[in-house]
């Protein structure tokens, strides 16, 4: 008799949501998390009275969050408080032009008429095209398992209306955006989001161009910090008997004859189960925890063909003044071509940029209790940061990088910032690797070009090891808060179907 029905490795969103759903369906579930916090990239830590989100700073497209709660016979509104963030962005272009995009598509059109009149007509058409695609895709594409080519083909049979959007499956993100928008302002404000799937616009898959619209369906922040989202799934799971152990690193997945038998923790403890859900990076899972020697050759070749996703340095600032910001998110953006150029000529070459396109998150605008009274929290997500730096490393560079970034932001977006910083912390790509065991600090699991998307991503039901399931950013539908939760539903449903 095994110790547990299901063991989940990692208490990220994919792990907690899949574990909680399995528990609500009567299975005895244990979640093992190596760090002392749940939530992984979607978590929050405290320092000197300031509460900093480790990674994710907002959630948009909450359908999958709703669906995961519904699968446990409860609802998002009963379990989690989410406050809308409106405007979505305060944009600052290279020439200093500054404007905000509100949630409302119509009010956004008013802004576009002023800042990019050439695209004023295209915007409402783009929005309604992507709205229609999203209505279909949230179930057909992002909410469905993509285990076999049959699943992919069935998607079009079950949802023939998707054929109208065929070009999104065969084009790049950049192709889609350039087809719709002619002005640099619109191209960059709708293309930056390609980095939310970990690639520049030229390399990201066309289906993700919906991100330029999806934020207008609602962008939210949970009071108390992003950790409230994983905690909500933990709480519901625990009501159904799910156990969560922090400080418990899994070092091995035990297999016999390519069937899961359990796991071994870093302290040598062996825990048995015939079912394991992995919420960790799929390359680490297969190549280290299971071991190449236990994989069929095709699986070995397959998993080695992926690359870890991009990383990013994130700076956490506690400040003793109210920053002059207009929105939860301020985006210093650059022309689309410069984003692509940055990828090839700076990021890929292991260099650090002088000019940074960056995202500033101001969570205390939404929840002042995240900082001492009169103080604020500002998190800076700087340009993608290479894991390997040319001629140096992040531990040597980080203090100078914090200083340079604060200086850059003081000059371009938040005058006076430099004089008001009380606490400054950073997660470099190396720190993300140490904190969350993400190889090369990969913040979205694996890179996600078209060739590693949907059915081409590591499968939620392992094809080489029986009893092994995957949830989280490394499997379909990929990185991001809603996708990670969506992957949790898919893994739990597959277990229900096959086990
Ligand atoms: C800087 C940054 C900004 C982001 N911004 C946003 C945003 O604004 N909006 C958005 O939607 N998404 C954002 N994301 C992406 C989003 O946060 C992630 O894609 C999502 O949270 C990943 O969830 P996951 O289920 O893959 O688990 P992860 O968050 O990857 O968690 C995996 C967990 O497994 C644990 N673990 C690893 N190895 C082991 C082991 N051997 N044993 C036990 N436990 C282990 C880790 O400690 C971690 O807690 C951001 C991510 C980062 C890093």
pLDDT tens sequence across 358-416: 899 999 999 999 999 999 999 999 888 999 999 999 999 999 999 999 999 999 999 99
Q: Is the pLDDT of residue 151 over 90?
A: no
Within a 13 Å sphere around the CA of 11, how many CA atoms are in the beta-carbon half? 30
How far apart, in whole angstroms, are the C-alpha atoms of residue 186 and residue 126?
A: 11
Residue 12: its pLDDT value, please?
98
Strand partners, 318: 377, 423
pLDDT, the chain, mean: 95
Q: How many CB atoms lie within 10 A of CB 169?
A: 18
Instruction: Judge whether 279 and 8 are in contact, CB under 8 Å.
Output: yes
Determine the atom of ligand 1 nearest the C-alpha atom of 289. Answer: 41
Q: Which two tokens stand for residue 353?
A: 């940029």
CA of 372 to the centre of ligand 1 (A): 27
Is residue 341 very low, low, confident or very high in pLDDT (cuts 50, 70, 90)?
Answer: very high
Q: What is the DSSP letter of 459?
A: P
Given the CA of residue 438, which atom of ligand 1 is nearest to it? 37
Domain layout of the chain by residue ranges: 6-43+61-75+225-307+438-498
In this structure, whether the domain defined by 6-43+61-75+225-307+438-498 belongs to CATH 3.50.50.60 is answered with yes
Q: Is 90 exceeded by the pLDDT of residue 138? A: no
pLDDT tens, residue by residue, 450-489 = 888 888 999 999 999 999 999 999 999 999 999 999 999 9
Helices (H), 141-267: 149-158, 166-170, 173-180, 184-191, 211-214, 228-239
Which of 8, 9, 10 has most ligand 1 atoms within 8 Å of its beta carbon, as the pocket-test mutant?
A: 10
Residue 432 CA, ligand 1 centroid: distance in Å: 10
Name which residue sits closest to atom 52 of ligand 1, judged by CA: 55
User: Whose CA is closest to atom 35 on ligand 1?
Assistant: 10
> Which residue's CA is the closest to the ligand 1 atom numbered 16?
480
What is the mean predicted confidence (pLDDT) over 272-282? 98
Name the DSSP class of 152: H
To the nearest whole percent, how much of the chain has pLDDT over 90?
Answer: 90
Q: Which residues contact 205 (CB under 8 A, 6 or more apart)?
A: 169, 172, 173, 197, 448, 449, 450, 453
Q: Which of 15, 33, 42 to mutate to test the pocket of ligand 1 (most atoms within 8 A of CB)?
A: 42
User: pLDDT category, 34, cuts 50, 70, 90?
Assistant: very high
């Amino acid at each position: 008799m095994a110790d547990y029905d299901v063991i989940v490795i990692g208490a990220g969103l994919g792990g907690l949501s899949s574990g909680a759903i399995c528990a609500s369906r009567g299975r005895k579930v244990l979640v093992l998390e190596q760090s002392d916090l749940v939530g992984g990239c979607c978590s929050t830590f405290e320092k000197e009275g300031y509460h900093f989100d480790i990674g994710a700073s907002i959630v948009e497209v909450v359908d999958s969050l709703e669906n995961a709660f519904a699968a446990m016979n409860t609802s998002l509104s009963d379990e989690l408080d989410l406050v809308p963030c409106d405007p979505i962005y305060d944009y600052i272009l290279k020439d200093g032009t500054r404007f905000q995009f509100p949630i409302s598509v119509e009010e956004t059109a008013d802004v576009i008429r002023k800042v990019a009149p050439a695209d004023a007509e295209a915007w409402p058409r783009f929005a309604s095209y992507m709205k229609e695609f999203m209505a279909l895709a949230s179930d057909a594409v992002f909410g469905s398992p993509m285990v076999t080519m049959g699943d992919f083909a069935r998607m079009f049979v079950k949802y023939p209306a998707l054929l109208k959007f065929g070009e999104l499956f065969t084009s790049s993100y950049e192709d889609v955006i350039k087809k719709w928008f002619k002005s640099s302002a619109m191209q960059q404000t709708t293309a930056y989001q390609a980095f939310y799937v970990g690639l520049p616009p030229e390399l990201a898959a066309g289906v993700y161009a919906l991100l330029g619209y999806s934020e207008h369906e609602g962008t939210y922040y949970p009071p108390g910090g992003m950790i409230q989202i994983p905690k909500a799934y933990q709480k519901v799971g625990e009501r159904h008997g799910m156990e969560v152990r922090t400080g418990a690193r899994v070092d091995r997945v035990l297999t016999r004859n390519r069937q899961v038998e359990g796991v071994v923790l870093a302290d040598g403890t062996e825990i048995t189960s015939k079912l394991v859900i992995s919420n960790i990076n799929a390359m680490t899972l297969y190549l280290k925890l299971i071991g190449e020697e236990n994989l069929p050759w095709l699986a070995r070749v397959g998993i080695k063909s992926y690359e870890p996703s991009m990383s990013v340095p994130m700076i956490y600032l506690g400040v003793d003044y109210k920053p002059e910001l207009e929105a939860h998110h301020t985006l210093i953006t650059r022309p689309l071509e410069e984003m692509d150029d940055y990828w090839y000529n700076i990021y890929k070459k292991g260099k650090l940029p002088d000019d940074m396109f960056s995202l500033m998150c101001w969570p205390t605008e939404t929840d002042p209790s995240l900082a001492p009274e009169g103080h604020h929290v500002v998190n800076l997500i700087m340009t993608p940061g290479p894991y390997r730096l040319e001629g140096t490393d992040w531990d040597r560079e980080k203090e100078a990088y914090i200083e340079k970034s604060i200086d850059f932001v003081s000059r371009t977006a938040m005058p006076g910032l430099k004089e008001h910083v009380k606490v400054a912390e950073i997660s470099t790509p190396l720190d993300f690797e140490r904190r969350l065991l993400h190889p090369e600090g990969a913040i979205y699991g694996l890179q996600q070009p078209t060739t590693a998307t949907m059915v081409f991503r590591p499968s939620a039901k392992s094809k080489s090891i029986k009893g092994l399931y995957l949830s989280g950013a490394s499997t379909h539908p990929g990185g991001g808060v809603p996708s990670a939760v969506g992957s949790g539903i898919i893994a739990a449903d597959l277990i229900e179907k096959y086990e």
